[in-house]
């Protein structure tokens, strides 16, 4: 990607200098990590239990952020992608007579408080609709490269654009409708969740389409993005963590599905092509 270093985005909340500690009993960090592992094994998000029914955690600020030159470069890149993504959606919303409310991106290390419970490095990047913030530990980009085999700057941009896609879904009321559907039909909760995740992939593709039109993408970038979408497919993660694939436990979609919906957004740049609930 032909990205330019600029100031740190005003939409970034940097908590890398903060640490959390428990007061009293509760799951503790080790117990919380067990919950994350069980979520991967059973293909179901069990992290909600981390934030409730336990002793509170106190987040303290050391006042200093220690970072390597490589991490400083990542912050600059994340700032560029975050602002580019949200500027794109701001224009898209305005074109339809709507206001876009910008999400906040929280940088943290290991563990942090969120309105959706405790955020963990092990859970990867995620979006919390309750506080409309995206959370990421920048070390995930190392996992994306080494563990998932998806290197490259546009692979990283895909991850961020996917999470901002969830914010777009929240602003459009899609997230609320999905939760209502899941409550009314719990037996299909996973399948409904998959369609929501695939739509976020397609919305990320729309941002990619814009970047291509602006001449920001370079040769090989699209392959990097498609590779990242495929690498985080449920079937690949299940095969790695439990040795077999259980489609009934999918929550994000297969490698082929995620790459296909990302591709649709990339090629069309039209939100009408991202109707995962009405199309196969």
Question: Residue 188: what pLDDT?
Answer: 93
Q: Looking at the domain assignment, is residue 279 inside a domain?
A: no
- pLDDT score for 25: 44
pLDDT computed for residue 42 by the predictor: 44
83 found inside a domain: yes
> How many distinct structural domains can be found in the chain?
1
Q: Report pLDDT for 22.
A: 54
- Model pLDDT, residue 88: 97
Strands 57-61 and 111-114: unpaired
Could you tell me if residue 2 is inside a domain?
no
Q: Is the dihedral of CA 173, 178, 179, 183 positive or negative?
A: positive
Q: Is residue 253 part of a domain?
A: yes
pTM of the model: 0.85
Residue 154 lies in a domain: yes
Q: Which residues contact 19 (CB under 8 A, 6 or more apart)?
A: 59, 60, 62, 110
Which residue range is the domain that position 240 belongs to? 12-274
| Residue 181, SS3 per DSSP | helix
Give me the residues of the chain with pLDDT under 70, please.
Answer: 21-63, 279-280
């Amino acid at each position: 990607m032909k990205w330019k270093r600029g100031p740190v985005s005003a939409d970034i909340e940097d908590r890398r200098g903060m640490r959390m500690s428990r007061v009293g009993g509760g799951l503790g960090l080790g117990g919380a990590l067990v919950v994350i592992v069980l979520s991967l094994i059973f293909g179901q998000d069990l992290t909600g239990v981390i934030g409730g029914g336990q002793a509170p955690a106190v987040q303290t600020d050391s006042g200093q952020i220690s970072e390597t030159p490589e991490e400083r470069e990542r912050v600059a890149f994340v700032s560029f992608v975050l602002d580019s993504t949200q500027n794109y959606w701001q224009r898209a919303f305005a074109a339809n007579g709507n206001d876009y409310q910008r999400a906040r991106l929280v940088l943290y290390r290991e563990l942090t408080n969120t309105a959706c419970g405790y955020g963990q490095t092990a859970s990867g990047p995620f979006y919390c609709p309750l506080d409309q913030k995206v959370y990421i530990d920048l070390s995930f980009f190392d996992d994306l490269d080494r563990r998932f085999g998806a290197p490259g700057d546009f692979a990283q941009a895909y991850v961020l654009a996917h999470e901002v896609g969830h914010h777009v879904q929240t602003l459009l009321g899609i997230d609320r409708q999905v939760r209502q559907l899941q409550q009314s039909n719990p037996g299909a909760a996973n399948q409904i969740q998959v369609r929501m995740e695939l739509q976020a992939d397609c919305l990320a593709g729309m941002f990619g389409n814009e970047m291509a039109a602006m001449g920001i993408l370079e040769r090989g970038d699209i392959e990097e993005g498609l590779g990242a979408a495929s690498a985080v497919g449920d079937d690949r993660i299940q095969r790695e963590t439990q040795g077999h694939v259980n489609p009934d436990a999918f929550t994000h979609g297969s490698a082929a599905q995620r790459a296909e919906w990302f591709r649709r957004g990339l090629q069309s740049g039209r939100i009408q092509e991202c109707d995962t609930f009405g199309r196969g």
